[in-house]
């Protein structure tokens, strides 16, 4: 992986919420099998808050907080798209923003390396895995 940073812009579907984020070139992204990430079908990029900037749409955002309450899921009130999450979790290095890379302009998340979190079983301490695990009921 290089240290070269690339700045991306992104938005929700209707364009009310716009942001930019700096991501390291060649980095991997993550998917989680917890109940909300699984249902959202999101692919995330964890960054420090300094690497994220909300350009517009603060008043168009709605929050959803659940479970352990370590983060807020931010949604556009107009179109319903989950744009990013933010919070604090020691296992993730403290304060974080998790950008939904499906919202990035000119970016194909399916062409990237994906790592998998086992959030369904609160198995955060094991870190990411290179391949999906069998989903246990």
Asked, for residue 47, whether it belongs to a domain, the answer is: yes
Asked, for residue 95, whether it belongs to a domain, the answer is: yes
What is the C-alpha end-to-end distance of the chain, expressed in Å?
A: 36
Interval 69-106: pLDDT, tens: 778 999 999 999 999 999 998 877 899 999 999 999 98
The length of the chain is 137
Asked, for residue 133, whether it belongs to a domain, the answer is: no
Residue 137 in this model has a pLDDT that exceeds 50: no
Asked, for residue 9, whether it belongs to a domain, the answer is: yes
Q: What are phi and psi of 126, to 5 degrees?
A: -80, -5
How many CB atoms lie under 10 A from the CB of residue 1?
9
* Residue predicted with more confidence, 121 or 12: 12
How many CB atoms lie under 10 A from the CB of residue 113?
11
Spell out the residues 6+ positions from residue 26 whose beta carbon is closer than 8 angstroms to its own.
1, 2
What does the mean pLDDT of the chain come to?
Answer: 87
Asked, for residue 125, whether it belongs to a domain, the answer is: no
Across the range 30-36, mean pLDDT stands at 85
Query: Do 62 and 17 contact (CB within 8 A), yes or no?
Result: no
Asked, for residue 21, whether it belongs to a domain, the answer is: yes
- Total domain count, the chain: 1
Residue 59: give the domain boundaries: 5-120
> Please, which contacts does 49-55 make with residues 24 or more away whose CB atoms are closer than 8 Å?
49/86, 49/95, 49/96, 49/97, 51/21, 51/22, 51/23, 51/97, 52/19, 52/20, 52/21, 52/84, 52/97, 52/99, 53/19, 53/20, 53/21, 54/17, 54/18, 54/19, 55/9, 55/18, 55/19, 55/20
């Amino acid at each position: 992986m290089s240290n070269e940073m690339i700045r991306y812009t992104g938005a929700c579907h209707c364009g009310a919420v716009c942001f930019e984020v700096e991501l390291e070139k060649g980095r991997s992204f993550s998917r989680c099998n917890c109940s909300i990430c699984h249902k959202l079908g999101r692919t995330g990029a964890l960054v420090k808050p300094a690497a994220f900037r909300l350009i517009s749409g603060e008043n168009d955002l709605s929050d959803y907080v659940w479970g352990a309450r370590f983060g807020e899921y931010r949604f556009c009130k107009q179109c319903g798209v989950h744009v990013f999450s933010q919070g604090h979790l020691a296992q993730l290095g403290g304060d974080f923003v998790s950008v939904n890379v499906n919202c990035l302009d000119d970016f194909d998340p399916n062409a990237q390396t994906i790592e998998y979190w086992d959030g369904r079983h609160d198995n955060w301490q094991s870190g990411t895995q290179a391949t999906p695990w069998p989903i246990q009921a």
